[in-house]
A and B are shown apart, each in its own frame.
Chain A
Amino acid sequence: MAHPLPHSGDGASTRTAGLSTGPGSFAPRVKRVPPAQRVSAIARLVTAVVVGLVMMFPLYWMVTLAFSPNADVFSRELRIWPSSWTLDNFRTVFGSFPTATWFGNSVVITAIVTVLTVTGNLLAGYAFAKLDFRGKGAIFLLVLSTMMIPVQVLMVAQFRLVTELGIYGTFWAVIFPSAASAFGIFLARQFIIAIPDELIEAAKVDGAGTVRIFLQIVLPLCKPLIAVLVLLTVMYQWNDFAWPLIALKDSRLFTLPIGLLYLRGQYGADYGAIMALALVSITPIIIMFLAFQKYFVQGLARSGIR
């Protein structure tokens, strides 16, 4: 899990800023800290440890059950460690269910949605940030308003729509409505608007057209933005549940979350198998998150500072 990208100066400065702006910014030399402050430092550490344990416990429990024999789940005794480690649950999950297919389906759908969404968002973000055209304000407001439409309002009509289009039950029924997302447009617009106009003017003087400016000037500066958009879209799509649940019907075309629900419907009491599949379904996202945490956090934080 090597860090694929070098730490940018941005991240480093955020970290130091974080240290110095702490509300209780304590002197770094611990020896001179008065006892009262040392007590509060210990209290904070204890609080943090408790919070960390509470946050981690459910995940720890998922892993434990996934590797425990099913008898452990139903035994009356309190046990927070498997009586014996076993891979049986994973054998069930991969042997009796098309889990590998579900995994592949999730990968394919997520990949296509991500390419469509991020491409569309970058193009639109550039237009809203740097181009001047008639109706810009009104169109931007219209696009903004789509973020307030709850998915559940649309589910019946979207279901009718994909049925009318003849794509109900196919991957495309999941992909198109999912790719119709405005969320990334705002991140893209915010990011691109900060690119100095002088760079673009200079390129114009050199005779570059709108498209060349976008491809050769703007895009190369957008790498952190693209990373954030890709990560957030992948995460969202990989985890998406309500719409694929409606749009898919053939169990061989299910994505992992729908497969997980299906497994529960079939093997309701086999908690070990359910947790094993849950673990399989969340592992890729967790790895991705741990590897690119900085981009995730920056992306989320940036979406918050409007």
Chain B
Amino acid sequence: MSAGTSSREESTDDTGPPPSPAATYEAAPGRASRRQRATLASYGFLGPNLVLLGVFLFLPLAWAFLISFQESSGFGASGWVGLDNYRRLVTDPTFWRSALNTATFTLLTVPLSLALGLGLAVLMNSVLPGRRLFRTLIYLPMVISGVATALMGVLLFDEATGIINKLLRGGGLAGIPWQSQGSAAFASIILVTLWIRVGFNMVIYLAGLQGISPELYEAARLEGASSWQQFRYLTVPLVGPSTFFLLIMDVIYSFQVFDTIFVMTGGGPGRSTSVLVTYAYENGFVTRDQSYAAAIGIVIFLLTLSFTAIQWRGNRSRDTVG
């Protein structure tokens, strides 16, 4: 913070005298130094943030690359081993299982939360008694801590004592093996994720819907378009920018899901809900194989980066076409 304070004082002194019309007589050097002063002031404003980002984000990022080329020895890392950690990844079945789970989780949660978010936004944008209350109820889960939510999930989905299985049995059905069967455990995590995530999608879509002119719908109705046609050919294309934004945010969110899985299943049963992030954590802080964890982290980073780059290019070409 000191960098910001010092240059703040500095720039007040420098710009102290009001610039009189006479200043325009000054030659180019004067203007250049004013620009330099402005640059200095700007860096003063940026200082606190840049220092924090530099020390606690960029430095660890570079460091993570270095660690991933070293071997883990007990607590720390030592000795260069080149690509050994990455070679190990390629032949590690748990890594591939976690990568596959991450992909499946993302491919299921993203379209579902987009569809539910848009559906609810359309519903909550229409005339509806108690609309404010309903909106609040849908928003609420997204402000609740992931650990509390996951523990709530543990209780709801408990095979023996959870309320969901009690309700199923009460209805004469068999309970679902949420903990002992991989696909059921996976489903429970997806359900909890949707519960958390749908509110955010709805907020963004509601904002998108409110930017659409009502005359368009008026015109569509005069042309005899049904509600579904209005939704399909007006609403869906017109909320495109919101969808694009949400696609990025949701993919990144699903890709990096940690709290829910770590607390609810711990990656189990077996490895059936293990994802890249929980596997990286496990290596880094449970088995203390930190170099291997760093290598997994770098893979996550590269995947995130390439996804964003593809999205970016896709959006740009769409913009130029449209």
Q: Name A's B-contacting residues (CB within 8 A).
A: 14, 17-26, 28, 40-41, 44-45, 47-48, 51-52, 55-56, 58-59, 61-62, 65, 73-74, 77-78, 80, 116, 119-121, 123-124, 126-128, 131-134, 136, 139, 143, 146, 148-161, 176-177, 179-180, 182, 185, 204-212, 214, 235, 238-239, 241-242, 246, 256-257, 260-261, 264, 271, 274-275, 278, 281-282, 285-286, 288-290, 293, 296-297, 300-302, 304-306
B234 proximity list for chain A (CB < 8 A)? 23
Contact of B128 among A44, A73, A149, A304 (CB under 8 A): A44
Q: Is the CB of A297 within 8 A of B50?
A: no
A interface, over-half SS = helix
A286 proximity list for chain B (CB < 8 A)? 140, 143-144
Bound CA–CA A210/B147 (angstroms): 44
Bound CA–CA A292/B51 (angstroms): 32
Q: A48-B123, A301-B206 given as contacts; is B163 within 8 A of A61 (CB)? A: yes
B38 proximity list for chain A (CB < 8 A)? 131-133, 210
B64 proximity list for chain A (CB < 8 A)? 153-154, 156-157
11 A-B contact pairs sorted by A residue (CB < 8 Å)? A21-B209, A26-B126, A45-B128, A119-B48, A150-B256, A156-B290, A160-B67, A208-B15, A241-B147, A242-B259, A300-B203
B256 proximity list for chain A (CB < 8 A)? 150-152
- Interface size class on chain B is 35 or more
Which interface residue of A51, A126, A152, A306 has the most chain B CB atoms within 10 A? A152
Which interface residue of A128, A246, A305, A306 has the most chain B CB atoms within 10 A? A305
A306 proximity list for chain B (CB < 8 A)? 245
Q: A156-B297, A206-B18, A278-B152 given as contacts; is B305 within 8 A of A148 (CB)? A: yes
Q: Name B's A-contacting residues (CB within 8 A).
A: 1, 4, 8-9, 11-12, 14-19, 35, 38-39, 41-43, 45-50, 52-53, 55-61, 63-64, 67, 76, 120, 122-131, 133-134, 136-141, 143-149, 151-153, 155-156, 161, 163, 166-167, 169-170, 195, 200, 203-204, 206-214, 217, 227, 230-231, 234-235, 241-242, 245-246, 249, 252, 255-256, 258-259, 262-263, 276-277, 280-281, 284-285, 290, 293-294, 297-298, 300-301, 304-305, 308
